[in-house]
A and B are shown apart, each in its own frame.
Chain A
Amino acid sequence: MGEAITPLRAFALGLRAAGSVAAFVLFATALGFGALARDTGFTLGHTAFLALTMFALPNQVVLIDQLARGASIAGAALAVTLAAVRLFPMVATILPTLRGSRRHPLLEVLAAHFVAVTTWIEGTRRLPAMPPDMRLPHHLGIGVAISGVMALGSITGYLLSVGMPPVVGAALVFTTPLYFILSLVATARTRLEVSAVALGCALAPLFHLIVPGFDLLATGLVGGTAAFLWGSARR
C-alpha cells in the first residue's frame, strides 16, 4: 500500500469491512438482539436507537434484560457499566495507533464510539498496514460500516423475530464466540499475545463461577498481567 493514498480512499477502504466475515457474524448476532428487543416489549425505534448510540451488543442485551426484569434505572446502569468496562482498554490501545501527525480531538471521540469488539479486532488486523495519517479515516470507515451493519441486523431481527426456528438462532449466536477466538488466534503473534488469549479463554469460566459480574474484569486484569509479565520476561 503506497503513501499516495488519500484520507477519502482510506475511509472508503474501511467501508469495505461491511462485506467481511466480521460483519456477517455481527449481523447474525444483531438479529438475535432485535428479536430479543421485540420479545421483551421494546419498540423498533428503541431498538435502532440502542444499536446506533450504544454500539456494543452484549451491553445492549444486558440493558434490555435488566429493564425487562423491572430493574431501576440505577440498577440497569450499574449492570451496563460493569459490562462496558472492557471498552476502556480497547479504546486506550487503539487510539495511539490512530494518531497521525496532526491531532483531531473530535474525530478521536467519534473513533472511540466506533470501538467495540468487532471493530477493535478488525482495526488491530487492518490498521498497521495503513500509513499513520490514514489510520483515523480508515478506522472511521470501518466504524460506519460495522455500526450500519449492526443497526440493519437489529432492525431485521426485530421485524423477522416471529418465525425463526430456535435451532437456527442458536447457530447464528454461536458464530460470535467462534469469530472472537479464531480472529484472536489469527492475529496473535508474540508470546504476550498468545498467552493473553490462552489465559483469557481459560480464566473467564473460572472467574464466572467465583466472581460473577466481575468475571471479565478479573479475567482481563489477572490474565493480562500474567501474559504481560510472561511476555516481557527473557524477550
Chain B
Amino acid sequence: MTILQDGFGGYLTLILAGVLANEVWRLLGVVAGSRLDLDGQLFQWVRAVALALVAGLGSRMVLFPAGALADVPLTIRLVAFAGGIALYFLARRNLGIGVLGGGVLLLAAQLAWP
C-alpha cells in the first residue's frame, strides 16, 4: 500500500507540503545572514536564539518524545540522560562515549526493567 501516487503527483505533494515549506527558512536565512556582521550585537542575539532553540529541541525530545522512545518510562529516560552526561565528563569530555554510553544505558535499563 502506498499513501501517495507513485508518479509525479506524489512528488508534487511532497514538494508543496514539505520541501518548499522547509527550504523557505533557509533562503530567508541567506538573505538575513548576508546583512549580519560577525562582530555585531545583532549577530550575537541571533546566535543566542539559535542556541536556545537547538538546546530546547534536545530537552523536549527527552521529556516529550515521539515514537518508540515514548514507550520508555520517564525515569529511565532521565537516568540514562544524566548517565550519558556523567560518562561524557568522566571520559574527559569525550562526545562519542557520552552519546553511545547514554544510549547503551537506556537499552540496558529497558531490558533490566521491562
Query: How far, in Å, is B10 (CB) from chain A's closest CB?
Result: 6
Q: Indicate which residue in B19, B100, B102 contacts A54 across the interface (CB closer than 8 Å).
A: B19
| Contact A46:B56 (CB < 8 A) given known A95-B34, A96-B33 | no
Q: Are B48 and A201 in contact (CB under 8 A)?
A: no
Stretch at the interface among A6-14, A72-80, A152-160: A72-80
Q: Could you tell me which A residues sit within 8 Å of B by CB distance?
A: 21, 24-25, 28, 32, 36, 40-43, 45-46, 49-50, 53-54, 56, 58-61, 63, 66-68, 73-74, 76-78, 80-81, 84-97, 108-109, 112-113, 115, 117, 120-121, 166-186, 188, 192-193, 196-205, 207-208, 215-217, 219-225, 227-228, 231-232
Contacts of B56 in A (CB 8 A): 200-201, 203-204, 207, 215-216, 219-220, 223
Query: How far, in Å, is A199 (CB) from chain B's closest CB?
Result: 6
B32-53 Cβ-contact flags toward A at 8 Å (1 or 0): 1110111001011111111111
CB-based A-B contact count at 8 angstroms? 330
User: How many chain B residues touch A (Cβ–Cβ < 8 Å)?
Assistant: 80
Q: Are A228 and B44 in contact (CB under 8 A)?
A: yes
| Contact A66:B48 (CB < 8 A) given known A61-B66, A80-B22, A96-B43 | no
In whole angstroms, what is the CA distance A92 to B30 when docked? Answer: 6
Q: Are A177 and B36 in contact (CB under 8 A)?
A: no
Contacts of B63 in A (CB 8 A): 205, 208
Q: Are A67 and B80 in contact (CB under 8 A)?
A: no
Q: Indicate which residue in B59, B65, B80, B99 contacts A21 across the interface (CB closer than 8 Å).
A: B99
